[in-house]
């Protein structure tokens, strides 16, 4: 069963739509936490894992916490719709109480301006309107299926109008996705495109502050969307990595270096890998700015068992810690086994998709590991998902056997 199937059809008199991105948003936060704790325990138990996770760490902002939001744009019967799924309801703009303060108002303004007859052609070219950034500043991305000079001029004017009304909207961009895919940013840009991404105005990079450091990253690169819980999670990472200043850190799926650079002064050496060239370029720039004289390196790498065996630096055994933050679909086959074979001091595996927890833990247990802790964090309030940090070590025999 998937994690979502462990939730009831209703709770506290509220119907739970398992297909909604805001499935639990109408519940009181305390009731939501109770449901998630129960669902996680059942997921592990039914999956044959004898582990009792720690209680879910609540998000400091249980609502209005998500710094990335998107609306699919469609035109029908002379009207423009902004909706969160593939189909739209009766309301022209789907609103969400999970997104950062200011998002709803900006979407309403964008919808108003794009609904004007003179902007119809540009509205029909849109796949998504996306808002990213932090709680203080927002960036707008127009994802379009076609692009020409007229569409660029119109969308620039639309964005400038919204920015005049909402000064927190600091920058705007156009991203070309001719496929009209379900994803608001393509994972790979076709080489034939001369212009896949274009800045309309404002700063070129987005910013996030963590661990006393300001990190910059391009608008097309993934970043954690619940900014409120990041300091709490960073504290848990630091505590459980047990860095002593002389150990090394392998940061896999490192993105733009968020975690390893926030902890960069705790390790003698950092080596990170990430498939996105743009993210790696940002990680390197952030590392040079904050740690010019330290041994911190980032590589562009599609993370598989084969590439890790070829590219990873020599194992350092007990002096090595490994941090994994894979996408929701989890690691490629053989990645966990390859890392276990290095016998590091410990592995911290972050699961942003709960359905991947049981299969990955079974791999670790089958390879003689100890699962010391399972620490869930409510990175995704209002949704049917949690982030779980698994602390894996190699001290002693397996203590959480499979059933």
Percent of the chain having pLDDT more than 70? 93
Residue showing tokens 């699919």: 72
Task: State residue 89's pLDDT score.
Answer: 67
Task: State residue 395's pLDDT score.
Answer: 63
The CATH number of the structural domain formed by 69-207 is 2.40.50.1070
Tens of pLDDT, residues 221-248: 999 999 999 999 999 999 999 888 889 9
Residue showing tokens 């190699």: 394
Task: State residue 398's pLDDT score.
Answer: 42
Tens of pLDDT, residues 315-367: 888 889 999 999 999 999 999 999 999 999 999 999 999 999 999 999 999 99
What lies within 8 Å, CB to CB, of 303 at 6+ separation is 252, 253, 273, 275, 326, 331, 332, 335
45-59, 283-297, 309-323: segment of lowest average pLDDT: 309-323
DSSP states of 1-45: --GGGGS-SEETTEE--TT-TTTTTTS-HHHHHHHHHHHHHHHHH
Tens of pLDDT, residues 265-285: 999 999 999 999 999 999 999
Strand duo 138-144 + 169-176: pairing:
parallel
In this predicted structure, the answer to whether residue 397 has a pLDDT above a threshold of 70 is: no
In the CATH scheme, what architecture does the domain 211-393 have? 3-Layer(aba) Sandwich (3.40)
3 state SS of 329: coil
In this predicted structure, the answer to whether residue 311 has a pLDDT above a threshold of 50 is: yes
Percent of the chain having pLDDT more than 90? 84
Q: What is the 3-state secondary structure (H, E, C) of 69-99?
A: EEEEEEEECCEEEEECCCCCCCCCECCCCCE
In this predicted structure, the answer to whether residue 21 has a pLDDT above a threshold of 60 is: yes
In angstroms, rounded to a whole number, what is the distance separating the alpha carbons of residues 83 and 247?
A: 48
| Mean pLDDT of the chain, nearest integer | 92
Residues of the chain with CATH 2.40.50.1070: 69-207
In angstroms, rounded to a whole number, what is the distance separating the alpha carbons of residues 83 and 73?
A: 7
Tokens standing for residue 10: 């209703």
In this predicted structure, the answer to whether residue 400 has a pLDDT above a threshold of 70 is: no
DSSP states of 140-206: EEEEES---HHHHHHHHHHHHHHHHH-TTEEEEEEEE-TT--SSSS-SS--TT-S-SEEEEES-SSE
Task: Kindly state the average pLDDT of the residues 289-303.
Answer: 96
Long-range pairs for 238-245: beta carbons < 8 A, 24 or more residues apart: 238/263, 238/266, 240/346, 240/348, 240/373, 240/375, 240/389, 240/391, 241/266, 241/321, 241/323, 241/346, 241/348, 242/321, 242/345, 242/346, 243/267, 243/321
Residue-wise burial string across 282-305, b where 16 or more C-beta atoms lie within 10 A, e elsewhere: bbbbbbeebbeeeebebbebebeb
Tens of pLDDT, residues 105-118: 999 999 999 999 99
In angstroms, rounded to a whole number, what is the distance separating the alpha carbons of residues 147 and 327?
A: 30
In angstroms, rounded to a whole number, what is the distance separating the alpha carbons of residues 345 and 277?
A: 29
Tokens standing for residue 391: 């602390």
Residues of the chain with CATH 3.40.50.150: 211-393
Q: What is the CA radius of gyration of the chain?
A: 22
Strand duo 269-274 + 295-300: pairing:
parallel
3 state SS of 384: coil
Task: State residue 51's pLDDT score.
Answer: 85
- Judge contact between 56 and 376, C-beta under 8 A: yes
Task: State residue 86's pLDDT score.
Answer: 59
Task: Kindly state the average pLDDT of the residues 47-68.
Answer: 96
Indicate yes or no: pTM above 0.95. no
In this predicted structure, the answer to whether residue 194 has a pLDDT above a threshold of 80 is: no
322: exposed, middle or buried (C-beta count within 10 Å: 0-12, 13-18, 19+)?
Answer: buried
Q: Which residues pair with 207 in a beta bridge?
A: 216
Q: How many other C-beta atoms are found inside a 10 Å radius of the C-beta of residue 199?
A: 13
69-83, 185-199, 218-232: segment of lowest average pLDDT: 185-199
What lies within 8 Å, CB to CB, of 212 at 6+ separation is none
């Amino acid at each position: 069963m998937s994690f979502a199937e462990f939730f009831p059809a209703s709770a506290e008199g509220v119907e739970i739509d398992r297909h909604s991105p805001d499935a639990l948003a109408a519940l009181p936060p305390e009731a939501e936490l109770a449901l998630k704790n129960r669902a996680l325990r059942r997921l592990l138990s039914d999956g044959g894992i004898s582990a009792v996770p720690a209680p879910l760490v609540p998000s400091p902002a249980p609502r209005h916490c998500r710094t990335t939001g998107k609306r699919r744009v469609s035109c029908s019967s002379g009207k423009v719709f902004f909706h969160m799924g593939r189909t739209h309801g009766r309301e022209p703009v789907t609103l969400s109480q999970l997104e950062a303060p200011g998002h709803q108002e900006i979407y309403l303004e964008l919808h108003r301006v794009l609904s004007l007859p003179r902007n119809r052609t540009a509205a029909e070219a849109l796949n998504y309107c996306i808002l990213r950034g932090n709680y203080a500043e927002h960036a707008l991305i127009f994802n379009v299926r076609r692009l020409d000079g007229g569409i660029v001029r119109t969308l620039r004017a639309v964005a400038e109008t919204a920015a005049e009304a909402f000064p927190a909207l600091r920058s705007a961009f156009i991203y070309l996705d001719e496929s009209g895919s379900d994803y608001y940013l393509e994972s790979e840009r076709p080489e034939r495109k001369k212009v896949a991404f274009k800045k309309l105005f404002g700063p070129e990079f987005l910013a996030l502050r963590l661990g006393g450091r300001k990190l910059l990253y391009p608008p097309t690169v993934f970043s954690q969307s619940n900014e409120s819980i990041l300091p709490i999670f960073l504290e848990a990472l630091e505590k459980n990595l047990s860095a002593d200043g002389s150990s090394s850190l392998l940061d896999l799926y490192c993105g733009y270096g968020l975690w390893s650079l926030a902890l960069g002064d705790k390790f003698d050496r950092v080596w990170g890998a990430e498939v996105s060239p743009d993210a790696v370029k940002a990680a390197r720039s952030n590392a040079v700015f904050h740690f010019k004289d330290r041994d911190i390196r980032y590589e562009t790498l599609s993370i598989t068992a084969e590439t890790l065996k070829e590219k990873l630096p020599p194992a350092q055994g007990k002096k090595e810690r490994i941090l994994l933050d894979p996408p929701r679909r989890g690691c490629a086959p053989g990645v966990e086994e390859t890392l276990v074979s290095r016998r590091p001091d410990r592995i911290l595996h972050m699961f942003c998709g709960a359905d991947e927890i049981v299969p990955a833990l079974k791999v670790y247990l089958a390879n003689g590991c100890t699962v010391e802790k399972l620490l869930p964090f409510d990175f995704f309030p209002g949704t049917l998902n949690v982030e779980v940090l698994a602390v894996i070590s190699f001290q002693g025999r397996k203590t959480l056997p499979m059933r």
